Structure formats: structure tokens, C-alpha cells
Structure 1
Amino acid sequence: MNKQLYPILGFLIIFAGLPGSIQANQSCDDSLTGDFYKKVIPTNLERCLDEQPALIKLTTSGGLTALHLAAGNTPEPEIITILINAGANIETKSSEGFTPLHIAAAHNTNPTITKTFLDAGANIEAKAELGLTPLHSAAAYNTNKEIIKVLLDAGAQINPKIVLIGWTPLHAAAAYNGNPNIIVTLLDNGADPREPDSQGKIPLDLLSENTNLAYDKNIYERLSEGQ
């Protein structure tokens, strides 16, 4: 892999651990696993918070809070609202600098979850390490184009750059995302296919690193427009 890709790998690795260990019998003690939030219903979460109010501030070894884990896993917007109303900080950062909105944008395919964070006042331009924004997160890893649309409709900048490597969200999508519609959505909303990164590479140059899209003629042509 091109050395230019290395700085973003920490972003991939920390998210790879999100689901956590799968528990056969869920209990409130499992509340720092992603699997808990895939399955928990609002009334049970409220019970857990009543029994263990401190869980709202507990973190995993990677600095992920209950809100981070819920952001990446729950299909229920009400779960997010319950945690926020219980005092969860929507801007708290993991050890890699990711807010819950970064996690939701990267891993939750339900656009209502991302919108719930935005409606609660989450910083749409929050910067993780290297300056990754939630739009970078969605562009790199989320296969639902509606997440991109929600962020852009809320005012996310279309061409922010990652520090050192100079990637825009379009670079991240070209290198990592397996859904061609993510690239199309970014382009349709003003992403610049001619914007170079710190090594002078444009998004088209990174497409060869993406085994899912490297031979997609339509995407190749779209990224080639204006060259």
C-alpha cells in the first residue's frame, strides 16, 4: 500500500473494534460493547442508566464512550437522545480524536442517527487526528450515500484537507469506499476531482488502491472529467 495511506490507518483500526465482543446474555455490564447498542431498546437503556449512572462517563481502552459505541451501532435515534439527555458529551473525543459524530458518519448506515447528532448541536467540522472531519469519515467508510447528503445539507465543507497528506473526502472515498455512489454524490455536490493531495495526487490516482472500484469504468470517467 502506498505510504500515503498509512496515516489514515489508525482511523480504520479504531473503528474496526467498534462492534465489541458479542455477549450471549446482555446485561448493563455489557454497555461498553458495540453489540449492546445494536440490540438494546430504549426502556432497557434507561434502566441501565438508572442502575449505573456512571456508565455515561466510562470509556474503553481506546477512549470510546457509550455515546461513541451507540453512534456506530444503534439503529434507534432514541438511544442517542437518551444518552445525550443523561449527560453524555456529544463532543467528547476518543484517543484518536474522534467524536461520536465521526463514528456515526463512518459506521451507522441510518442517516437519522447522524441527523440526531447534528440536531443536538454536534460540531459538523470537528477535527480528529490529522484533521479528519465527519465528512471524511463518511466518505471513507459509510456505504450509504444518504449520510453524505445529510452532512452536506447541514453545511459540511466539501473539500477540507487532512493534515500532512492533504486528502479531501473525495480522496478518501476513492481510496477506501466500496460504493461508487459515494464518489458520485460527492462529485454532484461540488467535490473537486482536480484537487491534489500533498504528493500531487488527485482522487483518480488513488482509485487503483481501491480493489472494489479500480475497474469501475463509470467512476473512472467521472473522476477524469475536467482533467
Structure 2
Amino acid sequence: MGRIVTAVFFGLGLLLASLPAHADRLPAPMAAFSASQTLSVDGTALSARLFHDKGLERRESRVDGLNNLLIIRPDRREALVIQPESKVGMKLPLTDPEVGVVATTLSLLSGTVEGTETLAGEKVTRYRVQDITPDGSGFDGRVWATKDGIYVKLEGRMAGEGAVTIAMTLTDIRRGAQDPTLFEPPADLSIMTLDPLQGRVPPAFQAEKETKTP
């Protein structure tokens, strides 16, 4: 797995369809908390520490010996993928697939309530979500969320081109206001804004190339 692995795992956008009239809208992310997050994509897992405060989010992970950081700012309609050691960040719009599953995006979905239960010490409502566009893209699965928008668990399939099976769970949920500086980039960060459609990746995020011998 190369240095861009975190961005790849985070690259799970949700395509929103017209919502059925009988379904219930998923709750807006109004809670402040930290938690441990486990994300599995087609059976490959990535763990991260998550910090969340009313829609603002920070995810910290370590992959291949490198620290990786993602800061999500729906209020600014952008996200930053950062490698702290290199002091380089890549700015992306929230709609970019590399940003991935965002709580404010999930809250735009609707689903059928199947019941309530307790997960990770939180009372959650289980929703059956079938939000598929006419072209076959979207999300088909289940979401477990608290009344104030902590998305404790998610499992299902991202449909359409490049479809994947996804599962996400939160554990060690600790409620409480988060330090606002967590959601700001480091002061000495060099920020790049790249068009992901051009397939370009800044050098700090590229996998190391193998040295070929003649």
C-alpha cells in the first residue's frame, strides 16, 4: 500500500438520489465527540482516530509507517488530505470521491426505520437505506445513528462503477466539545489544490517508485 492509501480508503463518495416520500431523513450531525473508527472496504481495513464537532471532522491514521490526516470542513465546502511529516496538504472539494463518507452527506439520505438498539454505549436508530439513482449509482445498506447524528455503524454496498462493499464502525465514543484547532491545518502547511480528474497527486502522496536495474 502506497502513501496515498488513506486517500483511497477515504475515497468513498455517496451519490444522492431522489428520496422516497415515506422515508425518514437521517439525523443531522449535531454532536461533539471523539471515537475510534474502523473502516473496511472489500475486506481491507483501516483504523483511525476521529474527532467530530457539529459536522467538522478530523481523522488521524498511520499507514506504512506514515501519519495521515484528513480534515473535513463542510462549512468551507472543502477537505484537506495532509501528510504532517512532509508539511504538504492537498485541498479537495467535499464532493470529490477522495473525501469519502462525510456525516453531513449521510444526513441528506433518507431511510426506513427498522428499530432501535444500543451500540458502543449509544442508543441508535437502525435505518434501511436504498438510495440508488436511475443509472445504478448510490448506496444500498444500513446505517445506525444516534438522535443527534453520531453515525456509529454503516454497512452496505456503494453501487455503480467501481462498486465496493463497505463497513464502518465507531468504538470508544467520548462525548464533549472538541478543540477548534483540531479542524485547522498546521500553520506551516504548504497547500496544493489539484484537479482530481487530471489524475495528479502531489509528490508527498505518491508511492515510492521501485528502482529498476538494467
> Where on the TM-score scale, by shorter chain, does this alignment land: which range?
under 0.3
What is the TM-score of this pair, normalised by structure 1?
Answer: 0.23
| Structure with higher RCO (Cα < 8 A, 6+ apart) | 2
Q: Which has the higher strand share?
A: 2
Q: Which has the higher helix share?
A: 1
What is the TM-score of this pair, normalised by structure 2?
Answer: 0.24
